[in-house]
Amino acid sequence: MKQKDYLLDTNVISYIYEMEAGSQSRECLTLKTRLESRPQNTRIFLSPVTVGEIEYGILVGPFNDPTNEKYKKLVDIMTSYPCLGIDCDIARQYYSLLRARLYNAYAPNLKKGQKSRQKRIEEWKDPATSKELQIQENDLWISAIAWAYNLTLVTDDAMTPILNVAGKDIEFENWIR
């Protein structure tokens, strides 16, 4: 059986921080069990997008002072996992294809067979429910990185539209619920 390796979404890093700060929430306990029960040789990675999201949160948050213990803990967590790169091949072969699949599945139709000029994901709705897709651009990038590196994406986000169009190309797991 092929070894599974993982890419952590930003929300999972937030739970790791809470877990290491001593939280005994159901979510943190579930995450701890999953981390401890994974095969020893599995690897866990971060994407530059996740690092950027966490760093942004630090900079605008209440503990953006580098001498603050919470700040140091978040940096320690982030540096404990290798960070993968994004290059033009990932943008061209994975991100663009994933976004095109989303466009083809969810962009509004004008007339039969004619697609809308609304190319922004934020404008798209699920044709079955008319609800906004609520896809975040960063989630699309993180998913594309997981696909490019053949990693299982660990997230607490539903990401249903991405999951629907990714098919078997990207595996998703939730270690929080």
Looking at the predicted structure, is the pLDDT value of residue 113 above 80? no
At residue 112, the pLDDT reads 57
Reduced to 3 states (helix: H, G, I; strand: E, B; else coil), residue 93 is helix
Q: How confident is the model at residue 126 (pLDDT cuts 50, 70, 90)?
A: confident
**Residue 144 pLDDT:** 98
Dihedral Cα 90, 159, 123, 150, nearest 10 deg? 10
What pTM did the predictor assign? 0.88
Residue 163 CB burial class (10 angstroms; 0-12, 13-18, ≥19):
middle
Q: How confident is the model at residue 136 (pLDDT cuts 50, 70, 90)?
A: confident
pLDDT over 80 at 131, yes or no: no
**What confidence tens digit (pLDDT) does each residue in 137-148 have?**
899 999 999 999
pLDDT value for 119 = 63
With 60 as the cut, is the pLDDT of residue 123 above it? yes
| DSSP classification of residue 158 | -
Mean pLDDT of 88-99: 96
Model confidence at 111: pLDDT above 60: no
- Between residues 3 and 25, the one the model is more confident about: 25
